[in-house]
Amino acid sequence: MGRMGMIPTVEQIDELHRKYAPSEAAYDLIHTHCVIVATIARQVAHHANALFMRRCTLPADAPERNGGFDSGAVKGGTVPPRLIDEHLAVIGGMLHDIGTYTVLKHDGTDGEPLKFSNKRYILHGLNGYELLLKEGVDESIAQFARNHTGVGLTCAAVLEQGLPLPPDDYVPVNLEQEVVMYADKFHSKSVPPKFLTVDAYTARAARFGESNRREWLDLVAKWGVPDIPALAARYNMRLI
């Protein structure tokens, strides 16, 4: 076992974002996205934990009604195999996109609107992972950056699509990472940023093939549907 790295506080996370943001505009876009994803991840994890506790406290012969269970912010979902570490999911959500500062084509310092490099964007997860390890952040947190792209980027997909990544699996290795990967799909760092409904991301996932679409819908069934319209209203952002 290697030496335990740092589990950063919210203040330290903000310092990392400010350290790597090349401009205030980049910080506003990317840090706000991370806050939103962490918020959704906390809601999803909290809902999953409520389902788990409900299973533990009801009689063994009580009817299963998880599909209709509503903890407020999330509807549906299934009982997880264990409790989710909500704090870990929040920390991971706050840092999952730290690598996107490294893949900006226009970074806000050149007078142009922010724009990501299409060619290099796929590298943002791995870049973020390496950046966090360099900063002394624990592997368990750095992996949130590495393992959140799409609905799980496999080695086979990297090879099939000829992606500029070392051939490897970039997929969640625990439930907390999966929750953050899932939460990330409901918000886009487009300029201006926007929230996506389940249907909107389903259409996006389908562009990468039927199996990708099915994997997304499996995640929806597993984790439930967050109240995205409420978040869009809270952040005064458009919803598609």
* Residue 61 to residue 165: CA distance in whole angstroms: 49
Task: For the sheet with 238-239, list strands across it.
Answer: 187-188, 194-195, 238-239
In three-state form (DSSP H/G/I as H, E/B as E, the rest C), the secondary structure along the chain is: CCCCCECCCHHHHHHHHHHHCCCHHHHHHHHHHHHHHHHHHHHHHHHHHHHHHHHHHCCCCCCCCHHHCECCCEECCCCCCCCCCHHHHHHHHHHCCHHHHHHEEECCCCCCCCEECCCCHHHHHHHHHHHHHHCCECHHHHHHHHCCCCCCECHHHHHHCCCCCCCCCECCCCHHHHHHHHHHCCEECCCCCEECCHHHHHHHHHCCCHHHHHHHHHHHHHHCEECHHHHHHHHCCEEC
Could you tell me the two tokens for 32?
């706000």
In DSSP terms, 115 is beta-bridged to 106
Rg (CA), the chain: 18
Single-letter amino acid code for the residue at 72: G
Could you tell me the two tokens for 117?
């490099």
CA angle 143-40-5, nearest 5°?
25
CATH number, span 10-239? 1.10.3210
Q: Which pLDDT belongs to residue 110?
A: 87
Q: Give domain limits for the chain.
A: 10-239
CA distances from 153 to 78, 129, 147, 168 (A): 23, 15, 8, 9
Other beta carbons within 10 Å of 69 = 18
Mean pLDDT per block of 10 residues along the chain (240 residues) reads 82 98 98 98 97 80 53 89 98 98 96 94 98 98 97 94 95 98 98 97 95 96 98 97
- Cβ atoms 129, 149 nearer than 8 A: no
